[in-house]
Structure 1
Amino acid sequence: MAQIMYLNVGIPELRTWDGKQELSAIGKKRVTQAFLSKDSFHGDGVAATEFHGGPDRAVCFYPAEHYSKWSGEFGKDFALPTFGENISASGMTESDIYIGDTYRLGEAVVQVSQGRVPCAKISKNNDIGQLLKRVVETGFTGYFFRVLQEGMVYDDSEIVLLERKQNNYSILRANEIYFHQRKNYKAIEELVNIEELAEDWKKNLEKLLMQKN
């Protein structure tokens, strides 16, 4: 069991980075409660719908432990929630969480679907050019939940593990395969066969398997 540290939602808005305007929802704001539907928290949204959002990516989680790591590495404080996450907690890093894990989150029930595939906006939002590269290198990407049961979530809700579907593929291991072991066909096949894995990841991994021969 873990405790939510904060709850954030936000809709896309124009941001100015390097003198250019871009539409982004990375600048989420704290709220005390929000209804979680199959697609997202009410009041939450994404800009690039081809890469973000949808039922398999309804809730974005970023582990609290990584904030101190990045602060130490880059020598600056990171303002919460600078990675665009909806929720955070301690004790739920990518090595602790497995594809298919099912949790009670307030009145809702959610299931781990995939690791986050970060984009350059996390570097731009923090004014650190190397941040995206380091997040991918370490696999400290955060991850997504799909929603199995809709309901209210509060900023002090508990995150309670209800079921673990498998013990072989943590988010960290899945990230390692997805980003760095793209010719490890045996592992890719095993990962693809996990029913609870997000459809987008399955499609991308199946493309890698087509290169096998």
Structure 2
Amino acid sequence: MAQVLTVNVAHPRPNTAEGRAVTGIDKRPVTGAVAVRAPGPMHGGLGSGLVGDIIGDQQFHGGDDQAVYAYAREDLDAWQVRLDREIANGEFGENLTTAGIDVTNALIGERWRVGKAGLELEVSRPRIPCRTFANWLQLNGWVKTFTRTAIPGAYFRLVTPGSVAGGDDVTVTHRPDHDVTIGVVFRALTLEPGLLPQILRADALAEPIRELAERRINAG
């Protein structure tokens, strides 16, 4: 059964990697339900879609297309083996640690109904790793390692506000008629530029990603 194992929100800490005051990448499980609402624009909006969460760098993170970030517990378990270290829920900066659903193969525009409080989310784009992520995990070459493995986790935009709690069921309510997954978009942007034309077939692709893909295609 697909479900949310834990809901994770930020414990703010200094961000030495990006020269900013704080980062919200240190996310830890919380008890009880957390309200989810549209955060508005990336620049000047509320940052995260989860009430009580924070986004430290709103130049590149947060906003409506990155309202909620999910990562699969199964993928964290695989990283534990590869890295030979324990990885707690939330340690990759994810808001939702999931089980029983393949996040990397979620389609752009796929919709998830979460729990019984009306929350509905739409898959919008993959996570692209940054120096803050590497600094947080204290792993040399982490950005390259994460990129080569191409299991990025998925960002969601909000369709219907509601709340989410650990143990909530996840139901896929809509899958678009294309083959553009989170994994395909990530590889197109990082490892396989030949895939860039393919990702433009996904109407629900986050607009900044679409614009970036079009610029790269036009530049040859």
Taking structure 2 as the reference length, what is the TM-score of the superposition?
A: 0.86
Question: Match for residue 179 of structure 2?
Answer: 168
Q: Distance in 2 between matches of 1:193 and 1:153?
A: 31
Q: Distance in 2 between matches of 1:2 and 1:94?
A: 11
Aligned residue pairs, count: 207
2:100 to 91, 111, 130: 91
Gaps of 5+ in 1: none
Shifted more, 4-13 versus 47-56: the winner is 4-13
1:10 Cα deviation (Å)? 2.0
1:11 Cα deviation (Å)? 6.0
Q: Distance in 2 between matches of 1:195 and 1:138?
A: 26
State the identity as a percent. Answer: 24
SS of 2:99's equivalent in the other structure is coil
1:177 Cα deviation (Å)? 1.1
Question: Match for residue 24 of structure 2?
Answer: 25
Assess if the C-alpha contact under 8 Å between 1:98 and 1:166 holds in 2.
no
Residue 37 of structure 2 is aligned to residue 37 of structure 1: yes
Mapping of 1:56-95 within 5 angstroms? 56-95=65-104
1:77 Cα deviation (Å)? 1.4
CA RMSD of aligned residues (A): 1.9
Question: Match for residue 14 of structure 1?
Answer: 14
Question: Match for residue 120 of structure 1?
Answer: 131
Shifted more, 70-79 versus 136-145: the winner is 70-79
Q: Distance in 2 between matches of 1:132 and 1:92?
A: 25
SS of 2:80's equivalent in the other structure is helix
**Counterpart code for 1:23:** V
Gaps of 5+ in 2: 40-48
